[in-house]
A = this chain, B = another copy of it.
Amino acid sequence: MKDQTRTVGSLIDRAGVSIISSVDRDGFPNSKAMLPPRRREGIARLFFTTNTSSLRVGQYLADPKACVYFFDQRFFKGVMLRGTMEVLRDSAAKEMIWQDGDEMYYPKGVTDPDYCVLCFTARSGRYYSSFKSEEFEIAGD
């Protein structure tokens, strides 16, 4: 794939939904649709808002192994990013991606204890396009 960060980044930016997956304590994969990432740093790091009380947060605290998947149904393209998910509850992280209107989900505002940040760090990926899949590595920090 030419210009991996641009090709995959563009697919992420155009996707209306993120599918995030975790592994539960019984070893089963768990998947869920979430809003697109609130912020991305290349394709190596993605930030999402979520509820601290959510099932997924508890699963990531117990096992940070994660994948995030984006797809374009019309053009049969998809990308899976494999990596780890960190749960951030410090005010700097929470303020960084807070947006006006988030009060609808977190009535107490940016300090709402039920508001937290999921920070995903990708280590590798798999890109699907034109009926072919391609694995790729992602450089770390």
Contact = CB atoms under 8 A, between A and B. Distances in A.
Interface of A: 16-17, 19, 21-24, 26-33, 55, 63, 65-67, 69, 71, 73, 78, 80, 82, 126, 128, 133
A4 to B, nearest CB: 19
A126 B29 CA distance: 13
A66 B31 contact: no
A112 B106 CA distance: 53
A17 B80 contact: no
A104 to B, nearest CB: 10
**Copies per assembly:** 2
Given A27-B63, A28-B82, A29-B30, 10 more contacts: A19-B19, A19-B31, A21-B29, A21-B30, A26-B65, A28-B66, A29-B31, A32-B69, A55-B126, A55-B133
Contacts of A73: 16-17, 33
Q: Which 7 A-B pairs have the closest CB atoms?
A: A21-B29, A31-B69, A29-B29, A33-B71, A28-B65, A21-B31, A29-B67
B29 A23 contact: yes
Nearest to A31: B69
Given A32-B78, A32-B80, A78-B33, A23 B27 contact: yes
Contact of A67 (B31, B69, B133): B31
Given A17-B73, A73-B17, A73-B33, A27 B78 contact: no
